[in-house]
Amino acid sequence: MTALPHPLFTVTAETGPGTVRLRIGGDLDYDTSGELAAQAEACLDTHGPDALHLDCSKLLMCDSMGVSTLLQIHRSTSARGVRLHLDGPPPFLERILTVTGIRAIFETRETGEQPEQAADEAARPAPPQTPSR
């Protein structure tokens, strides 16, 4: 029996110089996480990028298997020296990552933000804070 694609889940790959972006839409769960893992591995094997971006802005749900898959992708990218970014994570995903204590392992930026903007903002020193009274 052949597994059919899940109708509420999409993964679209886009490649650029040194970068692969996977746009994820729908429900990342037990039934769909294998598809994301396979697509990520295929992109890493085929393109050998410096960075893998997972655009999560269209993600509707993520269960424990989805979180496990994100960790699996993180292990794979780390082993290859590839930076992993979660772009545009919805509030529910931010909460899951924070509550599980794994938030810090994923780099993020807003969906509309360009890579150059993120690098500029990361390099910019924080403004001095004035003491409050």
pLDDT bracket for residue 117 (50, 70, 90): very low
Tell me the pLDDT of the chain averaged across its residues: 84
Would you give the distance in Å from CA 70 to the centre of its chain?
7
User: Which neighbouring-strand residues pair with 16?
Assistant: 19
pLDDT of residue 127: 43
pLDDT of residue 6: 53
pLDDT of residue 69: 98
Cα dist from 131 to 28, 125, 128, whole Å:
45, 18, 10
d(CA 104, CA 43): 24
The rounded percent of the chain whose pLDDT value lies above 70 is 76
Does the structure show a pLDDT above 50 at 23?
Answer: yes
Give 38-43 contacts, CB < 8 A, sequence gap 24+: 39/11, 39/13, 40/73, 40/76, 41/76, 43/13, 43/15
Does the structure show a pLDDT above 70 at 118?
Answer: no
Does the structure show a pLDDT above 80 at 33?
Answer: yes
